[in-house]
Structure 1
Amino acid sequence: MADTYLEPTLKNLTDTILEQRVDLAKSITKKQNKRYERLEALEENLLELRIELVTLYGESLSMTIEERQERIEHWGTKTGKACAEMGISLDSMLREVPEYRTAIGNIIKETAIAQNYSLSNLYDVLAILDRTVDDVVYYFCLPFVEVQTQTLKASQDQMLEMSVPVVPIDAGVAVLPLVGTIDTHRAKLIMEESLNKCLDLNVSEFVIDLSGVAMVDTFVAHKLFQVIDSLKLIGVKPKISGISPEMAQTIIQLGLNFSDVPSYATLKSALKEIGFEKTK
């Protein structure tokens, strides 16, 4: 609870800040638009949020610690999520923090001079402002980062799905061209996509092309065996193409046996075996 001797001082400051909240929010909006031109398109929405924030700063000075904490947490959860969903960068939002601290600090200084605050009163008021600013940043960043993390994960999942492109090239025939590194998560996705797409497309001949895979180690080979065995169980005839001489030597050195799986040096030769000839 606020100290009794501070209550008139804090109430007076709250009223003064609330009287200037719109002008203060407009001033910060103008500065931010100058720094970040992309924010101009969101000016109307952001101005409203800034007015809310200045109001929160002003009213927080007259609140108890418990009331202040509850209000800031509620504001931060709502506003942090809203700003992240608008696609605003966190650095641009954090750039505003000193503006509020400076502007409200100036109001406190001017009021303190005009009303002859004691040094002790001024220090206590500034301590409340500093703590409020710190809490606003903390509770704003939590939901903001959470939304951005979820968005990033969704993008990564989408990119992973695109990295396992099962391509139907004719009735009953499909190709899976793999490129890059195969890790645990991607290996699982390869298994799921291969089986699901083969069933959905009624595939009988399935070529896994390794031309774009830089390295085949024990892990990758083991996962390929799992995919191949699973495809066989659902009636699909798997084939492997794109095995380079270096890759073949690695497979032999690892003691792996691909003898029961048709393998080809190139995708072209695999498709030719299935019956695809270049039409002249």
Structure 2
Amino acid sequence: MSNEKVYEEFCSLVLKKSSELAQEVTDIQTKKYPEMQSISNDLLTMREELVNLFAKSFVLGHDERKKNFKAWGKKAGTQCATLNASLEEMLNEFPEYRTILGDLLKSHAKKHNMTIDEFYNMLNILETDIGEVTCYFSLPFVDYQADQLRNSKEALFELSVPVIPISDEIAVLPLVGDIDTSRAKLMLEKALEKSAQLKVNYFILDLSGVPIIDTYVAQIIFQLIDSLELIGVEAKVTGMTPDIVQTVVNLGIDFQKIQTYSSLKQAVNTIKGNNTQRTV
């Protein structure tokens, strides 16, 4: 029998046994990792698709095989990531395909009295495919997890600039910790957005939890106050620590035009006192 016929016969054999082989991998993995039981049905379908691809590899050229495995890897890697499967556990199953299909291949080689070189050529196809599918599976899996981590960081980052309405007229932005360039920009953006949304008359920027500010942050504060004035909101700054005051003086930053108060309470009382005087 020609090598081509031998390859076609092995392809047909694996295709016929694809469900059985996929179930065998599933049983092995579930035994090793019981936590995978809840997603075993989803993984079984994915595994059967992969076994079919391994089978067809023996009758396809390398470029077409590579294209098929890349498509499967992108789909399966993303799917497994959304199922919260462990990348380590998923990668540990690829050697199982090597063992199971390798045993079938060995029996097939004996049946056809294949030479060592002929057997090696078929085994090399399987080895190459397993290496490539491992890579193609890992990339979208890692990309998905990176996206999730990035989204979580962005959500957490937004929580670092909480604009809080304390009355119908007053909103407060209490800052805690260091303010870098990104956070300063977000502070400007959120302060304007929330002030317009809440339709407040006063905005208080509380710096009592900020250890230090630099020239750039000071410029953002000035820009914020000017921008708030343009939309009809009066801005006040509270809680400037001695270290911040010293830095401001050393940098030659002029805060005289900004309404500053030692505490948030003092600023709120001043606003309420002014409003009371206006109503009398």
TM-score normalised per structure 1 = 0.89
- Aligned counterparts of 2:32 and 2:272: Cα–Cα separation in 1: 62
SS at match of 1:102: helix
Aligned to 1:64: 61
Residue 106 of structure 2 corresponds to residue 109 of structure 1: yes
Gaps of 5+ in 1: none
- Aligned counterparts of 2:127 and 2:167: Cα–Cα separation in 1: 68
Q: Pick closer, same or farther for the CA change 1:6–1:115 going to 2, 3 Å.
A: closer
Correspondent of 2:115 among 118, 123, 127: 118
- Aligned counterparts of 1:215 and 1:92: Cα–Cα separation in 2: 46
Verify the 8 A CA contact 2:212 2:243 in the aligned structure 1. no
Following TM superposition, by how much is the alpha carbon of 1:181 offset from its aligned partner in structure 2, in angstroms?
2.7
- Aligned counterparts of 1:33 and 1:214: Cα–Cα separation in 2: 52
Q: Pick closer, same or farther for the CA change 1:59–1:246 going to 2, 3 Å.
A: same
Aligned to 2:37: 40
- Aligned counterparts of 2:125 and 2:187: Cα–Cα separation in 1: 56
Correspondent of 1:52 among 45, 49, 53: 49
> How far does the alpha carbon of each residue in 1:54-111 deviate from its partner, in whole angstroms, 9 at most, with x for none?
1111111221223212222222222222222222232222121111122212222232
Aligned to 2:155: 158
Verify the 8 A CA contact 2:211 2:243 in the aligned structure 1. no
Aligned-residue RMSD, C-alpha: 2.1
Aligned to 1:178: 175
Aligned to 2:9: 12
Correspondent of 1:194 among 178, 191, 194: 191
Q: Percent identity among equivalent residues?
A: 41
Pick which of 92-101 and 47-56 moved more: 92-101
Aligned to 1:135: 132
Residue 268 of structure 2 corresponds to residue 267 of structure 1: no
Following TM superposition, by how much is the alpha carbon of 1:168 offset from its aligned partner in structure 2, in angstroms?
0.5
SS at match of 1:117: coil
Following TM superposition, by how much is the alpha carbon of 1:40 offset from its aligned partner in structure 2, in angstroms?
1.4
Q: Pick closer, same or farther for the CA change 1:28–1:214 going to 2, 3 Å.
A: farther
Following TM superposition, by how much is the alpha carbon of 1:50 offset from its aligned partner in structure 2, in angstroms?
0.8
Q: Pick closer, same or farther for the CA change 1:242–1:28 going to 2, 3 Å.
A: farther
SS at match of 2:8: helix
Aligned to 1:244: 241
SS at match of 1:182: coil
TM-score normalised per structure 2 = 0.89
- Aligned counterparts of 1:104 and 1:265: Cα–Cα separation in 2: 75
Correspondent of 2:142 among 141, 145, 162: 145
Following TM superposition, by how much is the alpha carbon of 1:5 offset from its aligned partner in structure 2, in angstroms?
5.2
Verify the 8 A CA contact 2:76 2:137 in the aligned structure 1. yes
Following TM superposition, by how much is the alpha carbon of 1:151 offset from its aligned partner in structure 2, in angstroms?
2.4
SS at match of 2:120: helix
Q: Which amino acid aligns with 2:232?
A: G
- Aligned counterparts of 1:24 and 1:161: Cα–Cα separation in 2: 48
Pick which of 194-203 and 140-149 moved more: 140-149
Residue 219 of structure 2 corresponds to residue 227 of structure 1: no
Aligned to 1:93: 90
- Aligned counterparts of 2:55 and 2:72: Cα–Cα separation in 1: 14
- Aligned counterparts of 2:255 and 2:28: Cα–Cα separation in 1: 66
Q: Pick closer, same or farther for the CA change 1:139–1:198 going to 2, 3 Å.
A: same
Gaps of 5+ in 2: 274-280
- Aligned counterparts of 1:88 and 1:218: Cα–Cα separation in 2: 47
